Structure formats: structure tokens, C-alpha cells
A and B are shown apart, each in its own frame.
Chain A
């Protein structure tokens, strides 16, 4: 059996369904497992796109979409964990309010991503990075994205340190002139 490849429309549909489920949780004041399926679908789609952009030729233009998909994966994964753990850690029902706040900011990032993916000449990288920054800022404020140490674990610390050192040296050299 050939499984249909999920489309952008499927993703938007899942995000809309997640938003609706979170809304009903907010009304009832209880966190349930109803959002799990939507979140799993979203995470699966987002992870696939992240891999696709990671495998693409690393260019200035490919960085913004990759960075966006990667951060969406981190945010939705954290959301999934927090919703699952909410009943046991006493995070109920504040986690639902926080998840809704984050989801409301996701759509603008997705629409910019859709524009970039449908038109390779699209020059919206700057707008996309700005959207991701805003989304991350909101997510971080409500603990709905990976912490610094969790992010560091995703890559080799050595490569990260060398990258930052290279950048620091360049900045210092520019600062001396």
C-alpha cells in the first residue's frame, strides 16, 4: 500500500485541529490525550521537512527554511511532552493556555514557509527569520521550546564551540580596525 505524502494543506489542517482541540480543553479546564494525534502528525511532517532542507545544498537561502523547520520541531515536541506530563506535574490547565499562545504565532511562520517552498525565487528569508525569532521568543517565555543544554545536545559541542570561536575572532578582528 502506498502511503500518501502529507502536504502543506495537511499540516495546516493538523495545526487547525490542534488549535480546536486546545480550545475545547481550555473550556473544560482539563488536559486530555485528544491533541496527541494532531501533534504526532505535525511533528512527523515538520521533521521530514527539516531533514529535506538539511540535505539540501547549504546556501544562504536554504538556512532560513531549515532553521524554521528545526525550531518548529523543537517547539511542537516540547508541547507534546508538556501536554503529556501535565496531569502528573500539575501543569494543568496552564499548559493549554501557553500552547494556544504558541500555536497562534505558528501560522504566520508556516505561511512564509509555504511561500518560500512554492517559489524558489522567493526572497522572504529575512521575514522568515524574523517570524521564527518572534515565535521562539514567545515559546521560550512559556517554556515551550528546547532549553539551551537540550539544544547543545543536538550537535557536537566541539563543532559548536569552534564555530562560535571562529565568529568571535572575526568580530574581534573587525572591532580592531
Chain B
């Protein structure tokens, strides 16, 4: 039987902790939002099967989660919220984070091996960034036009005929639609053009650790390793129905590191099919 391990990335840990802290308050109903339902759904499934030790963290993800949590509370709440409220908020959210880390303990990693993987992760993202600049409106239009040309070759058709003019207009429309579809299908890759949306050092270390853990777990037994993340530098872009719309980066991660990055609720659904 194949085992499963889910490394909880910083974004998931923080979302689940803050949401849980908010739910502890009696003041009105807790805010409902798909973003938090996602993380909570996975945490519930992992807690249900805690004996199987599916959910894991690493020192990198937990330390980063604490630091980002404190920074988010201090920076995001602004001056209109008193220091006292911020301090209580930090304590309550960190209590919840402590509880999560207690349930999903940190896996030890070999720093030398992780550092080797980190190099490979950095190279992969550098190449993906380079590739992202090759996909733009012009290249996408050219690609679609070339594809259509193979179906309806312009040169083989006599000019000026009424029906053919309609076909040409149809062809232009088809190119426009096809270009849009192609750009949407490449949106996860294109997103990497923005330097702010590229993974930082901690993100890349997390992925390197996930890759390392995949190798370690599979020495003993066949194990699928997921990286649960709401960061689109890892997890695929989804459409409104929750289906994958773009996954070039995610697919490259699977190819190079055998790590399946995905949104927490999608991992929860998959785990349910195996563990109930």
C-alpha cells in the first residue's frame, strides 16, 4: 500500500491558526471565506487520521509561520488597532499554531542534502522564469495562427470569395479566442514574470525539504509526498469550478522532485478516497 505524507506550508499553517483563533471568539459569527475553508478542510482530515502521521511540518515551515504571523499582525492591523489588541492577537494565534505543530510534528532533515536540493530548486525556477518571458501575446497568437494554418491553409484558397472572407473572419476570431485560452493555460508560468510572485529563499527551502523527504520516505516504503500550499508558485491555478486551469510550474516540480504541490482542499479530497 502506498503511504501519503502532507508537508504543511507556511500559508496553510497561518490561515488555519488565525481562522481557528477567530472562531474562538463569541463576537458575531466567524468570517466565512473559501480561502480559510480550504486549509481547515485539510487540517480536519489530517487530525482525523493523526495516528497515521500523514500531516508533517519542518523547522523551516514552522519558524517561517511564526515570523510571518507576527509580522502580519503588527503590519496589517495598522495603527487603528491598539498594541494591546495586537499582542493578544499574536498570543491567541500562536497558541493555535503551537497546537497544530504539536499534532503535526517537525520532521528532521539533513541540511547538507536539503542544500543540494535547494540548488536544483533555484535552477528550476530560474529556467521557469526564463520560459515565462517566452510566452506573451505575440508568441501565443503566432502559435495559434500556425495551428490554424495547418487546418485551413490560406495560400491554398482563392482570394475574394464571399464564403472564404467569412472563413477568414472566423479564423481571426478563432486566433483571438485561442490566444486567450493559451495565455490562461500558461497563467501559472506567466505569473513568475512578476518578481514579487516568485518564491523566496524560505519557499525554495521548503520545496527542497519536501523533495528530500520524498527520497527519505521512499527508501523505506512507497510514499506520495504532497506540499499543501495556497501559494501559486507551487500549487496550480484553478478555475471557478476548482479544476486545474494552469499547472506548468506544478508539473515541473513533480517531474524534477516527485513532490505534488496542491491546494489543501484538493489534497483533503484525495486523502479521503484513500483513508475515508
Contacts and interface: CB of A to CB of B under 8 A. Distances in A.
B91 A164 contact: no
B84 A164 contact: no
Interface string A137-171: 10010000000100110111111111111111111
B86 A171 contact: no
Contact of B83 (A66, A126, A137, A156): A66
A154 B88 contact: yes
B27 A168 contact: no
Interface string B11-47: 1001100110110111110010111100000000000
Contacts of A45: none
A162 B77 CA distance: 10
A58 interface: yes
B98 interface: yes
B91 A136 contact: yes
A129 B70 contact: yes
A166 B76 contact: yes
B205 interface: no
A67 B83 CA distance: 8
Contacts of B72: 167, 170-171
Given A70-B84, A163-B85, A168 B19 contact: yes
B22 A133 contact: no
Contacts of B76: 166-167, 170
B88 A152 contact: yes
Nearest to A67: B87
Contacts of B24: 148, 152
Interface residues of B, number: 46
A167 B73 contact: yes
Please classify how large the interface on chain A is, using the bins under 10, 10 to 19, 20 to 34, 35 or more. Answer: 35 or more
B197 to A, nearest CB: 8
Contacts of B232: 177
Interface string A51-93: 0011000101011001100110000000000000000000000
A176 interface: yes
Interface in B149-196: none
Top 9 closest A-B pairs, CB basis? A161-B27, A172-B35, A164-B22, A67-B87, A163-B81, A175-B35, A157-B27, A175-B230, A161-B25
Interface of B: 11, 14-15, 18-19, 21-22, 24-28, 31, 33-36, 66-67, 70, 72-77, 79, 81-95, 98, 197, 230, 232
Interface of A: 53-54, 58, 60, 62-63, 66-67, 70-71, 126, 129-130, 133, 136-137, 140, 148, 151-152, 154-172, 175-177
Given A71-B87, A133-B66, A158-B27, 15 more contacts: A53-B83, A58-B83, A60-B74, A136-B94, A148-B24, A155-B82, A160-B85, A160-B88, A161-B27, A163-B81, A166-B77, A168-B36, A169-B31, A171-B72, A175-B230
